[in-house]
Amino acid sequence: MTCFTKLVFLLFLLVLVGECRKHKLGRRRRWTGPVEVHKHGTQLSKSIDGTKTRKLKTEQLLRVDDHDFTMRPAFAGPAVPVGVDVQVESLDSISEVDMDFTMTLYLRHYWKDERLSFPSSTNKSMTFDGRLVKKIWVPDVFFVHSKRSFIHDTTTDNIMLRVFPDGHVLYSLRVTVTAACNMDFSRFPLDSQTCTLELESYAYTDEDLMLYWKSGDESLSTDDRISLSQFLIQKFHTTSRLAFYSSTGWYNRLYINFTLRRHIFFFLLQTYFPATLMVMLSWVSFWIDRRAVPARVSLGITTVLTMSTIITGVNASMPRVSYIKAVDIYLWVSFVFVFLSVLEYAAVNYLTTVKDGKDRKLREKAREQSLPCTCGMSHTRTMMLDGTYSEADTNSLAGYTQAPMVPEEPEKQERMVVHLSLDSESTGTKKKGLRGFSIIHSTHAIDTYSRMIFPGAYIIFNLIYWSVYC
């Protein structure tokens, strides 16, 4: 009985262990697909989405792990054609001081890589973000003469990769680039500038990669709303050519050319009109009395300093070029006109001072040579003295015949006309001296001529300037 009990207990343990193993194997069995049970008891298999299975994930569908994507497509074969098109989103800024421009654009590449072909019954493409770009081959295009550039990354990297079943690839990215622009300021601010953005493969020569515009001039598209504060965008166009480097060879290079014409109205208000007004203001001194020294000197110095400030302000916003700009010609000629008006008064004041000194000597000499009467004198000469005479001067000439004052020109007023009767014998010996006594030159004539010469010369200069540069 004891042996029988032990045997039954042993069999029970064996059955229990077997059931436990079956239960564990049932849990480990892999699920291969959903199975539905029809309400009448028949089993129906549900269609499986192959893109969600482990065997059909992106890397295996495109066979990324089966190829070496560090090499270009058709390695050791003909050059890979890579088409390019560009859509300019914005032209952000133009800097004359740094001689560069900043542009935001969509850069798209088109090529065929048979390693990325995949079977598809619908012939639909697959679109990916920038994570797959790091695992496949893409063209190494860079911007020649660029100073700064970056790919936008808000809210994620602005990169798109689209793969077609036959292996054609579209690679698009959004880039902002700051590139150099060689500008010529010889006609500034009446100038037009042509800037160029250049694209080129960094590593692959024309034997490995053929870079070209996908649709010719239509490969470049722009937004009609693009505008700049100082420039009018006149034209966008594309070109291409080969670039040679002595150490590496020939490379395909693509060019985006655009022409900018500067708006002149801003500079008319800020530069040309103020300079013209300062020149016209300097002419006011020609109508101020020559003895008003403080008024004419202060007006001249004010206009000169103002012109200096205008010239300094214009050059502060420009690069330090070694040639003359159009605005420099206008400003410096205007400065010369203002400076000449100051020199004109200096000449007037100097001649007035010299004339006053001569008049003083003439009066003293006339007093020394005064005669008691005019009897026996057959010839007369006229001596004109400036109005700065005293009563003693007139008394000293009381013995001579004095002609009444006759209204004359404004600059000849305030003068005393005295007739000196001279003996015929002394006429020849004192002829030269009497000519010296006749002071008929007036320093007012310089101001009179300046009122016509200065405006006339400045008008002629403006006509020549605007006809040449406009």
Instruction: Report which of 328, 329, 277 is spatially closest to residue 303, judged by C-alpha positions.
Output: 277
CA pair distance 449, 118, nearest whole angstrom:
92
Is the N-terminal amide bond of 155 cis, ω within 30° of 0?
A: yes
**Phi, psi values for residue 132, rounded to 5°:** -80, -20
Q: What is the pLDDT of residues 76-101, one digit of tens each?
A: 889 999 999 999 999 999 999 899 99
| pLDDT in the model for residue 441 | 44
Contacts of 1 (CB under 8 A, 6+ apart): none
Q: What is the pLDDT of residues 201-232, one digit of tens each?
A: 999 999 999 999 999 889 999 988 898 888 99
Q: What is the pLDDT of residues 139-152, one digit of tens each?
A: 999 999 999 999 99
CA pair distance 423, 303, nearest whole angstrom:
56
Contacts of 314 (CB under 8 A, 6+ apart): 271, 327, 331
CA atoms within 13 Å, Cβ hemisphere of 468:
13
Residue 301 confidence (pLDDT) above 60: yes
More confident call, 391 vs 257: 257
Categorize the per-residue pLDDT at 47 as very low, low, confident or very high, splitting at 50, 70 and 90.
Answer: very low
Of the candidate ranges 154-158, 310-314, 351-355, the one whose mean pLDDT is the lowest: 351-355
Residue 402 confidence (pLDDT) above 60: no
| pLDDT in the model for residue 216 | 87
| pLDDT in the model for residue 60 | 60
Residue 308 confidence (pLDDT) above 70: yes
Q: What is the DSSP string of 397-433?
A: TTTSEEPPP----GGG-S-EEEEEEE-HHHHHHTHHH
Residue 422 confidence (pLDDT) above 60: no
DSSP letter at 79 equals: P
Q: What is the pLDDT of residues 159-213, one digit of tens each?
A: 999 999 999 999 999 999 999 999 999 999 999 999 999 999 999 999 999 999 9
Residue 64 confidence (pLDDT) above 70: yes
Of the candidate ranges 30-34, 79-83, 359-363, 371-375, the one whose mean pLDDT is the lowest: 30-34
| pLDDT in the model for residue 289 | 87
pTM over 0.75: no
Q: What percent of the chain has pLDDT over 90?
A: 52
Categorize the per-residue pLDDT at 445 as very low, low, confident or very high, splitting at 50, 70 and 90.
Answer: confident
SS (H, E, C) 141-204: EEEECEEEEEECCCCCCCEEEEECCCCEEEEEEEEEEEEECCCCCCCCCCCEEEEEEEEEECCC
Q: What percent of the chain has pLDDT over 70?
A: 74
Give the Cα-Cα-Cα angle 107, 193, 218 (nearest 5 degrees).
35
CA pair distance 319, 248, nearest whole angstrom:
35
Question: What rounded mean pLDDT belongs to the chain?
Answer: 80
Q: Is 324 helix (H, G, I), strand (E, B) or coil?
A: coil
Categorize the per-residue pLDDT at 69 as very low, low, confident or very high, splitting at 50, 70 and 90.
Answer: confident
CA pair distance 417, 114, nearest whole angstrom:
114
